[in-house]
Each structure stands twice: as structure tokens, then as C-alpha cells.
Structure 1
Amino acid sequence: MASLGYARVSTVEQNADLQTRALKDAGCQKVYTDHGVSGTKAKRPQLDKLLEHARAGDELVVWKLDRLGRNTRQLLDLIDHLESEGVHFRSLTEGIATTGPMGKAMLTVMSAFAQLERDQLAERTKAGMAAAAARGRKGGRPAVTPETEKVRQAGQYRHAGLNPPEIAKLLGLSRATVYRYLSLSAAEGNYGAPPHA
């Protein structure tokens, strides 16, 4: 079993030494660090590389939960992905580990907040569309690009019960990209939505 650390700083000027030191002190054999990458961005090269190298029985360790993702849904999707691969997760600051019952209970609470987040987003979207309609603007879905089509397909496959590695093989994508697409698909609530012309 390998302990793999992940550190991230939002700007190139910031220093990840505090995180790196804490991760090494916690027993991480290797630390992957993204510099100048916001937590809201789905593409994080070093995290993608870590996910490619992680194997069943390994552990992904972060200094703090927000280093892994700013968005609760994004964070839970990633932890779900790790669990499906047999990779454990641990956050040093919050003391959460997916191997213990307390950590799993915390993740359940976070999952409830993620659902609340999704519901509020849906309400804001409806209110925004109603306001736009009142101003005479018509809503509509953006044109389908090759990427949005892959996002839709990934959501459909997940909805059908396939796991991320199976989806990656079907779509010819990396597991990290599939995770990102599933996160986008869940945020848009378009699992199983038919393509439009």
C-alpha cells in the first residue's frame, strides 16, 4: 500500500511547502503538487497523474479537503471514484479517512449538503430563466460540441450502472477525464438526456 499525497496552490506565487511537509510527515512516499491551479477547475494535471498511478489498497492524502475540490459535489464524486477503485482517502486537517466509520459518517453528512447545493442551484436556474423570459429572452441549450456529447454519454453510461474505468474504456478517455465529465454531467443534471439537434 502506498500513501500518495496531493497538494495544490491557486497561484504560481503561492508556496506549497506547508502542505508538502505535512503530507510527508504523515507518511506519504510521493507528493503530487499542482501550482497555479484553482480548486474550481476540473483539469488539474498532477491530480490526474496521481489518479492514473493509484492502485487498489493505496491511499490519497490531502492536507485539507479544499485542496481536493471547492465544490462538495466534485469532492464527493472524486471520493466515490477512489472508493470504486479500492483507493482510500484521508484529509489531515479534518481528520477524515474513508477507512473508519466516523469518516464515512462525515461523508454522508457532506453528501446531504451536496444534495442541498444541487437543489439550490436548480432553483436559481429556474428563477434566472423566468427572469430572462420576463425580459423577452428565450432559453435554450447550447450547441453540442464533441466534448459536451462525451459528457452526455459518460452521464448515460454512469446512469446505466457502469463504473468510471468501464466508461473510460468505452469512450477512449483517461479515468481522470471520465471523472471530470461525470462531475459536469451531474452538475447539469443531464443523465440520460437525449441529444438535441
Structure 2
Amino acid sequence: MTTHKLRAILLYISGTLFAAHLVGEIGIYAFDADKNWLLPFNMDREFNIPTLFSSTIMLACAYILNEIKKVSEKLPSKDWRLLSKIFIFLAIDEFFQIHEIFIIPDLRPYLSPALGSTWVMPYTALVIYLGWRFSKFLRSLEKYTRQKFLQSAGIFLSGAIGMEMVGSYLVRAGIIRLHSIWYGSITGLEELLELLGLIIFLTALANHLIEKNGAIYLRATITE
């Protein structure tokens, strides 16, 4: 399978999940549908189809990063290894919503409405640190790969942190209600942007590995 075909398939699945999410939100808030039937496709929930899909892409990124580490000649393998570990953590966080541990309601009266989801503060600080940590690594990459990495990061973060702050602001400012089609659309767009960023990153990694190794082989071994 070519990376172009892989990207097309992943984009199609992402679009389908986003459409299913919107249909569910409209069904719940416009037609009073039973939400229990629609939760498996809700992109703002954990332990369901969208989170499984997103986590799988993150784990695929972690796998390819680890494979690149093995064939990397110029760049330190520790950078690829650390990135792989970060994506394993992101996959776990996505599926189990670990970041919600950092939501502290008591802080909200003292913060901007945009910071209602207080987890965005420590995670933004972590993003800034990692941006500094990997700055030399990024400069060492080929121009096209570096551009794709930065593009994917920008799109992913605009969803994960940017849209999260937009939704928090609109709800806390009283512009929209938390349980509404509007907020559901924002959370759906947030997850869609995350998926688009991940897909760009995954295909960029696959292309980079193919350039270094000629092809990507997935093997499963069963032993006694």
C-alpha cells in the first residue's frame, strides 16, 4: 500500500467519524434521541470508536518512529526514541483521557474563560518545552520532512489546545451551552483537527522511513 492510499483511507475514516459525531449531536439535542446508542461515535468521549481510531494512529506513529531510530545514521537515535515514547503516552492519554486529571474547577474563577479546561496550562507548558527540546532535531531534518512535522504539529495543537480553549471560552462566557449542538460541533472539530494532524505526521514518517529503508514491513511472530 502506498502512503497516498493510506492517507486517503485514514482521511475517509476520519471524515466518516466526524459526520457520525455530528449526526449524533443533532439527534440528541434536536430530536431527543437516546444518547446511549450514539455514545460509541461521540468524539468527545473515551473508550469508544473515535478514541480507538485516534489511539491506533498514535501507536502507529510510535512504531514507525522506533523503526526510523534503527536506520537513522545522521540524527541521534535518542531523539527518535523519545518521540516514540511521547506518542505512546499520547495514545494512552487519548484513550483514557488522562489529561482531565488536571482539570481543577476551583481555579476557574481566577482564570480567563478560555482556560476553563485547566489542563491546557500544563500541557501548553510541556509543548513549549518540547518545542525547545526538539528544535535542533527539527533543524537537522530534510526541509520537506521538517515542514510536514511542523504542519502536523500546528494542526494537531490547533485542535487539541486551540479548539479546547475556544469551546471553554464560549461556554463560560455564556455564548453557548455546554450541552448543545454548538458545543458538540466544536468538540467534533477539535478531534477532527487532531486526526488530520496525526495523519499528516504518520504519512510524513512513513515517507521518511521508506526513503531510508526502501519499504516498511510489519511482522507478527507467534511463539510458544
TM-score when scaled to structure 2?
0.25
Q: Which has the higher contact order (CA 8 A, sep 6+)?
A: 2
Larger helix proportion of the pair: 2
Larger strand proportion of the pair: 1
TM-score when scaled to structure 1?
0.28
